[in-house]
């Protein structure tokens, strides 16, 4: 079985310091959290950025400043900017994160409209998805196909059929939002993607470590971090993203799976 790639989603766009005081807003805080995750064993840093007051932004300048600062501390980490941004942002606003220098080697591509709960709807029309895929292909960026249910895999395959994606494909199964986070559902998702594809699983909230363990056992990869979950265990807030990554590293060791370095992760992902 190939080595385990650990992705750290260090801040997201929705969680706040009111939820956990360690959630990073400033560039200094974002670098601190990226380094804590990298030092603990994460190869990939999934990156949203914030203004100093915590407001989510897709500003090219803010991404550039954060990426440059993270590079200085975590030189070979794979930086994966989000093109999701936050609810209500325009398509071109969201794509600013891919306009930094050097061009990102890896970025997220959301593959469907999502109900986040209540009145929050994250809209991704087919045309938005296909346009994002086309632009990322033109820029030489490998997309991580973010799928929250089986229908989003089908939309990704439409983009593939149109020649907008380059195989092997890489998927991130985000479970516990629009689709339940169970081994049954994860197995169904894994069985629905093309042979030769790679995949990561992100369990939301209390499902984070259960899904990470399933990903380790099933030969996939694991994502953890404050974007998805703020707790190390029930009732215990994580003090850093590094603590969340450390727990996955321990799980991997117990289950007999080695953790990939950034160089090894690049080889697995073919980036």
pTM over 0.95: yes
Helix (H), strand (E) at residue 155: helix 150-161
- Nearest partner of 108 among 59, 64, 146, judged by Cα: 146
Helix (H), strand (E) at residue 184: helix 183-190
**Beta strands of 183-271 (E only): which ranges?**
198-203, 221-224, 231-233, 236-237
Q: Which two tokens stand for residue 78?
A: 């794979």
Total residue count of the chain as it appears in this document: 271
Provide the pLDDT for residue 119.
Answer: 86
* Mean pLDDT of all residues in 90-115: 96
Considering the domain 6-269 in this protein, what is its CATH number? 3.20.20.70
Provide the pLDDT for residue 85.
Answer: 84
Cβ atoms of 216 and 255 within 8 Å: the answer is yes
Provide the pLDDT for residue 118.
Answer: 84
Rounded to a whole number, what is the distance in angstroms from the first to the last CA of the chain?
A: 19
Residue 243 pLDDT exceeds 90:
yes
Q: Tens of pLDDT along 143-201?
A: 999 999 999 999 999 999 999 999 999 999 999 999 999 999 999 999 999 999 999 99
Q: Tens of pLDDT along 12-66?
A: 999 999 999 999 999 999 999 999 999 999 999 999 999 999 999 999 999 999 9
What gap in Å lies between CA 154 and CA 88, rounded to an integer?
Answer: 24
Q: Which two tokens stand for residue 146?
A: 């973010």
DSSP symbols for 252-266:
HHHTT-PBPPHHHHH
């Amino acid at each position: 079985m190939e080595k385990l790639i650990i992705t750290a989603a260090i801040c997201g766009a929705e969680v706040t310091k009111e939820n956990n005081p360690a959630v990073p807003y400033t560039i200094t805080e974002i670098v601190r959290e990226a380094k804590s995750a990298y030092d603990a064993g994460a190869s990939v840093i999934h990156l949203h950025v914030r203004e100093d007051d915590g407001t989510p932004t897709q500003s090219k300048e803010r991404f550039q400043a954060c990426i440059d600062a993270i590079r200085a501390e975590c030189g070979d980490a794979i930086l994966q900017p989000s093109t999701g941004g936050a609810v209500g942002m325009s398509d071109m606003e969201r794509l600013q994160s891919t306009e930094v220098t050097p061009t990102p080697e890896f970025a997220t591509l959301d593959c469907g409209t999502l109900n986040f709960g209540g009145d929050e709807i994250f809209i991704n029309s087919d045309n938005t998805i296909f346009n994002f895929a086309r632009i990322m292909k033109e820029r030489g960026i490998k997309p991580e196909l973010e799928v929250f249910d089986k229908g989003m895999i089908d939309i990704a395959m439409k983009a593939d059929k149109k020649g907008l994606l380059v195989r092997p494909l890489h998927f991130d199964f985000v479970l516990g939002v629009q689709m339940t986070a169970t081994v049954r559902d994860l197995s169904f998702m894994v069985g629905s993607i093309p042979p030769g594809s790679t995949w990561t699983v992100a369990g939301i909230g209390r499902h984070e470590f259960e899904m990470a363990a399933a990903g380790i056992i099933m030969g996939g990869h694991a994502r953890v971090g404050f974007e998805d979950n703020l707790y190390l265990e029930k009732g215990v807030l994580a003090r850093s993203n590094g603590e969340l990554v450390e727990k996955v590293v321990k799980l991997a060791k117990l289950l007999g799976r080695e953790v990939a370095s950034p160089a090894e992760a690049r080889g697995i992902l073919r980036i």
